[in-house]
Structure 1
Amino acid sequence: MMSDFAFERPLILWLLVVAVYCLVKCRARESALIFPHLSIVKKAANKKSFLPEFLKAVAIFGTILALAGPVAIDRTHEYHKKGYAIVLALDASGSMKEQGFDPKNPFLSKFDVVKDLVKEFIQQRKNDNIGLVVFGSVATIASPLTYNKEVLAKLIDYLDIGIAGQKTAINDAVVQSINMLAKAKAKSKILILLTDGIDTASHIPPDVITRMAKKYHVKIYTIGIGRKRDIDEPYLKWIAQQSGGRYFFAKDARVLKKVYEYINRLEKSEIRGKEFVKKDELYPYVLFVAILALLGYIYIYGKRGF
């Protein structure tokens, strides 16, 4: 919330310049009096003249300020964020230890390269609830859905090849991911599954995962990396198409980075903002002070007999 001060009719403030000029240059002429010991009278008059002149100035300036319409403005910004619930399913099987996937860093394993790119993707999804599933011979939840991107990034650093076994259980990973997304309240639910191999360990048939994806409205993006001969591309394409998603192939780190960037643009979170403005009129307070000053001015001059 931000509070601002403003005038609804700021042009009226130019009258302050006129008022200052008149107070300095346009003093009222008073009738001359012949009085002995004039120096004593002048000293007494000077001592008493400051207060009425001050009150007169306050009355004039206060009236002008009140006419200008002073207001205190409170602005409240309300944002509606339509984020996604996203689960990242990462292949951590033994084949992910292969090096050379990133030509710039040929000694890094595929899994290490993937972890770095996934962390970059996560940081770009500021409004999304993101979970992580790691699979090998079995599929396990590495992190439930969370908005805490820093904790999720640190957790990814601790993941290692073979943490879930040496084989590849793609179907089990999909089911585990959908089960996590089924409990999410987000209207948009996304699964991004990455693998470099063929399903060799799942206990769940393909038709089950497609029925579950449709039931819980989960869109699945599948990504195959490495060499095409090592990947069951027709199956990965079928999974994606059945859920309304899409299949991608990345032969190296450069292409995989572009894939994650494309998905990020394709599934963009929606942020809508509204601004509520509340105005508090301040002119009654200013006018009240001006009237008090005017009454004081009239009282002093009335008492002195002018």
Structure 2
Amino acid sequence: MFNNFTFEYPWFLCLIFLFIFCDFFCKAKNQSYYFVHLKIFNQVTSNTNTLIYLLKYLTIIFSLIALSSPIKILDKQVLKKDGINIILNLDTSGSMKQRGFNSSNKEQNRWNVVNNVVQDFIEKRVNDNIGLVVFGTSVLTASPLSFDKNSQKEIIKYIDIGIVGEKTAMFDSLATSINILKDKKAKSNIIILLTDGEDTASQIPLQIINKLARKYNIKIYTIGIGESNRQILNVIAQETNAKSFLANSKDDLIEVYNTINKLEKSDIDDNILLLKEYLFFYPLFMSIIFLIFYIYLKNRD
């Protein structure tokens, strides 16, 4: 019941002990006079004095509880801090139909393997803002930058070979990815390009891509499936201070994404947004009620 109950300023509660100490040891010294039969008078008023004394304590105590701001935590939301903006740039051209990339399941084509491995990678990037760009003859932004990992994994499941054509517009896809990242503020902006063929459909030259990536400080990690485009992928990675990788099997691809995962580390989440309900008005209301009774009894005497 009290698991989510706490105080915003608990040190105010320490003033209760200070009040008790002062009430006993810091009393003002006044002149005293002796009256005959004063004991009889004290007996008549003792009950009232006890109640007044109690009301004084309750007024002070509930006022200090109100000042300490009691709250009930309704929910906690983690705010992403120092995450990385990542665009997963994926080849869905016709050449991704080739089978045999997964030695344990020869019937899987290249895209089936990539699909599964990329989903696992997304799951690991808890702190990061991830977007999806796929390319064939043309380019499609499948998902804008988002922290919603579940939605992105669902989107990837529905992407298939040839969704944007059979050719390979690799350079155009990089231009699209750079355009998404160019104005984004983050610890790091990176593109992870995966392809298995030479560029056959782009209208934007490679020199422009490298120039834009350097201008906006965007790293482009490249993953080549097969040897056909190895040299170009090396150039792209080197020009953007990133790394280039080669994957000839599913195991290789898993290892590549694990390596990138280690190279581009995000800080641990440490900003927490608390959704809370303030309860200070309850003790404040009680302190006012006790104060009214205290004033009434004190003035009546």
Q: Is the TM value for this pair above 0.5?
A: yes
* 1:98–1:109 CA contact under 8 A, matched in 2: yes
In structure 1, what is the Cα distance between the partners aligned to 2:92 and 2:216?
Answer: 26
2:55 corresponds in structure 1 to 58
1:176 corresponds in structure 2 to 176
Q: Report the residue type matching 1:257 in the other structure.
A: I
Asked whether 1:264 is paired with 2:261, we answer: yes
Q: Report the residue type matching 2:228 in the other structure.
A: I
User: Which sections of structure 2, spanning at least 5 residues, go unmatched?
Assistant: 25-37, 275-279
* 1:99–1:110 CA contact under 8 A, matched in 2: yes
Asked whether 1:93 is paired with 2:90, we answer: no
Farther off after superposition, 71-80 or 56-65:
71-80
Give 3-state SS (helix, strand or coil) of 2:214's partner. Answer: helix
Asked whether 1:216 is paired with 2:216, we answer: yes
1:23 corresponds in structure 2 to none
In structure 1, what is the Cα distance between the partners aligned to 2:50 and 2:261?
Answer: 69
Q: Report the residue type matching 2:94 in the other structure.
A: G
Change (3 A) 1:78 1:10: farther
* 1:12–1:67 CA contact under 8 A, matched in 2: no
2:244 corresponds in structure 1 to 247
Q: 1:140 Cα shift?
A: 0.9
Give 3-state SS (helix, strand or coil) of 1:248's partner. Answer: strand
Give 3-state SS (helix, strand or coil) of 2:163's partner. Answer: coil
Asked whether 1:139 is paired with 2:138, we answer: yes
* 2:13–2:64 CA contact under 8 A, matched in 1: no
Change (3 A) 1:67 1:204: closer
Change (3 A) 1:232 1:68: closer
Q: 1:283 Cα shift?
A: 10
In structure 1, what is the Cα distance between the partners aligned to 2:119 and 2:166?
Answer: 23
Superposed CA offset, 1:231-250 (max 9, x none) = 33222111101011111122
Q: 1:297 Cα shift?
A: 4.0
Q: 1:200 Cα shift?
A: 4.0
Q: 1:294 Cα shift?
A: 4.4
1:4 corresponds in structure 2 to 7
2:68 corresponds in structure 1 to 71
Q: Report the residue type matching 1:161 in the other structure.
A: I
Q: TM-score, normalised by structure 2?
A: 0.68
Q: TM-score, normalised by structure 1?
A: 0.67
Change (3 A) 1:69 1:286: same
Change (3 A) 1:267 1:31: same
Larger Rg: 1
Give 3-state SS (helix, strand or coil) of 2:81's partner. Answer: strand
User: RMSD of aligned C-alpha atoms?
Assistant: 4.4
User: Which sections of structure 1, spanning at least 5 residues, go unmatched?
Assistant: 20-28, 33-44
* 1:133–1:173 CA contact under 8 A, matched in 2: yes
